[in-house]
């Protein structure tokens, strides 16, 4: 218990430090570069970050680890998850590069970004959780943030800013490249198994990994149709919501180990309920802390309707993340019927509903409620979607 408290304190401290440095990097790009260059870099940052987070989530969902499982079973399922990420990269990287080619200020950076995206998908913490070691995401992110801010200060050009953005992701990517190299002899059989099964369940796993991002970022896809004041309000809501997920990587890490299972036994709850409650509670505390910081920096507090909107998004997101982590991913990997067509249709419906919600009297709240409803519907879909078979506990 004491080790868990210490791990949480260190993780929070490093995440706060990384968040402050990342915010400074974000602000200095706008201060030192021309608006057109800054806009392209911000879009580049948004797309690349979204893709890396999606591939990393795909890895965790594909493994669907459970705390009480034997270590050997966890390792086998982690290897299969890594193999699925590599197979999905073969399909998805051309699309990712095409999305990044437009805003990228230097085309030479695209191959490096593609490699970093793949390496980020090979979630090092997944394997570390399986063998009972501590998370390395927060320390690696802190080192990357310091390197990025130093690079931008030294080279105040669009190319230098692109290198700075890459540097913030590079430490973790290098760690996971070392992991992939050490596991190369075990990865080849896993890749062969996934290839022979034709990536069973991979489209649905990719749809689950992308769904929440498509829903949350829908207002930004409709930027041209959104008035400036509405866009700012939605931006505040989204920023509070995203920052409220500060501890989500740690909660996911615990879910892949034994921490949440042990807590569930003490509380008489399933690990899924512990996951949902911990993600929601930590999100509320972090969101309120960010609102206080926003009040101090901006000189005015967020509107109550904006805080309510951020809470709605948090509830919807935590529900979808919990169901996809504990039920949806395991069912898909075990041969469940493909859920990706309905998820993509639901994401499209969310986009259409958001385009209507931004014209309502309280656009930020209306948009957030639409997005929360879409996330809850997605969670319900995965919870009740029929399966051909359940994934046996410990199966690979």
Task: Kindly report, residue by residue over 366-393, the tens digit of the pLDDT.
Answer: 999 999 999 999 999 888 875 544 433 4
Q: What is d(CA 87, CA 80) in angstroms, rounded to the nearest whole number?
A: 10
The helix-helix angle for 35-63 and 202-216 (nearest 10°) equals 140
In terms of domains, do 13 and 157 share one?
yes
In terms of domains, do 276 and 391 share one?
yes
Tell me: pLDDT of 361 over 90.
no
Q: What is d(CA 185, CA 181) in angstroms, rounded to the nearest whole number?
A: 8
Of 85-99, 157-171, 185-199, 246-260, highest mean pLDDT: 157-171
- Which of 198, 220, 245 is the C-terminal boundary of a domain? 198
In terms of domains, do 183 and 220 share one?
no
CB 387 within 8 A of CB 334: yes
The helix-helix angle for 184-196 and 71-101 (nearest 10°) equals 80
pLDDT, average across residues 63-81: 80
Residues 142-185: pLDDT tens digits? Answer: 999 999 999 999 998 888 888 898 899 999 999 988 888 888 88
Please give the pLDDT value at position 396.
Answer: 36
- HSE, side-chain direction, 13 A CA sphere, residue 63: 35
In terms of domains, do 214 and 75 share one?
no
Task: Label residue 129 by pLDDT band (50, 70, 90).
Answer: confident
Q: 3-state DSSP helix/strand/coil percent for the chain, to nearest 5?
A: 80, 0, 20
Which phi-psi region, left, alpha or beta, contains residue 201 (left: φ > 0; alpha: ψ -120 to 50)? left
Please give the pLDDT value at position 317.
Answer: 94
Q: What are phi and psi of 296, to 5 degrees?
A: -70, -40
Residues 4-17: pLDDT tens digits? Answer: 677 778 887 888 78
CB 82 within 8 A of CB 114: no
In terms of domains, do 212 and 185 share one?
no
Domain count, the chain: 2
- HSE, side-chain direction, 13 A CA sphere, residue 8: 13
Would you state the structure tokens that stand for residue 177, as one six-digit string? 């490249």
In terms of domains, do 26 and 7 share one?
yes
In terms of domains, do 266 and 317 share one?
yes
- Which of 198, 233, 262 is the C-terminal boundary of a domain? 198
In terms of domains, do 189 and 209 share one?
no
Please give the pLDDT value at position 395.
Answer: 39
Supply the range of the domain harboring residue 120. 1-198
In terms of domains, do 1 and 60 share one?
yes
Query: 25-29, 234-238, 293-297, 345-349 — which is least confidently predicted?
Result: 293-297
Would you state the structure tokens that stand for residue 249, as one six-digit string? 């990587």
In this structure, what DSSP letter does residue 125 have? H
Q: What is d(CA 73, CA 79) in angstroms, rounded to the nearest whole number?
A: 10
Q: What is d(CA 181, CA 173) in angstroms, rounded to the nearest whole number?
A: 12
> What is the pTM assigned to this prediction?
0.76
Sign of the four-CA dihedral 364, 365, 367, 372: positive
In terms of domains, do 322 and 356 share one?
yes
Would you state the structure tokens that stand for residue 303, as one six-digit string? 């509107």
């Amino acid at each position: 218990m004491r080790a868990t408290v210490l791990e949480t304190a260190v993780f929070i401290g490093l995440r706060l430090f990384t968040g402050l440095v990342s915010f400074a990097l974000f602000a200095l790009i706008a201060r030192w570069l021309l608006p057109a260059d800054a806009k392209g870099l911000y879009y580049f940052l948004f797309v690349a970050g979204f893709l890396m987070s999606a591939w990393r989530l795909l890895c965790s969902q594909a493994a669907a680890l459970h705390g009480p499982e034997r270590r050997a079973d966890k390792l086998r399922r982690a290897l299969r998850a890594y193999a699925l990420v590599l197979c999905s990269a073969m399909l998805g990287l051309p699309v990712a590069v095409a999305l990044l080619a437009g805003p990228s200020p230097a085309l030479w950076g695209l191959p490096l970004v593609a490699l970093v995206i793949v390496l980020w998908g090979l979630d090092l913490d997944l394997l570390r959780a399986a063998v009972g070691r501590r998370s390395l995401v927060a320390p690696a992110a802190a080192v990357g943030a310091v390197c990025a801010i130093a690079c931008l200060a030294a080279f105040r050009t669009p190319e230098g800013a692109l290198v700075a953005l890459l540097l913030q992701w590079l430490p973790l990517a290098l760690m996971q490249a070392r992991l992939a190299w050490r596991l190369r002899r075990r990865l080849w059989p896993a890749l062969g198994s996934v290839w022979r099964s034709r990536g069973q369940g991979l489209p649905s796993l990719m749809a689950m990994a992308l769904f929440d991002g498509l829903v949350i970022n829908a207002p930004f896809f409709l930027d041209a149709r959104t008035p400036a004041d509405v866009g700012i309000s939605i931006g505040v809501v989204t920023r509070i919501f995203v920052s409220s997920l500060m501890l989500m990587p740690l909660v996911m890490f615990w879910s892949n180990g034994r921490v949440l299972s042990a807590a569930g036994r003490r509380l008489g709850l399933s690990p899924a309920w512990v996951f949902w409650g911990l993600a929601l509670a930590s999100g509320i505390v972090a969101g309120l802390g960010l609102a206080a910081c926003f009040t101090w920096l901006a000189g005015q507090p967020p509107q109550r309707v904006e805080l309510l909107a951020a809470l709605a998004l948090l509830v919807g997101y935590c529900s979808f993340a919990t169901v996809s982590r504990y039920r949806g991913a395991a069912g898909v990997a075990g041969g469940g019927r493909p859920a990706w067509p309905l998820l993509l249709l639901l994401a499209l419906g969310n986009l259409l509903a958001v385009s209507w919600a931004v014209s309502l009297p309280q656009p930020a709240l209306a948009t957030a409620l639409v997005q929360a409803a879409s996330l809850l519907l997605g969670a319900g879909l995965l919870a009740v979607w029929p399966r051909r078979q359940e994934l046996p506990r410990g199966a690979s």
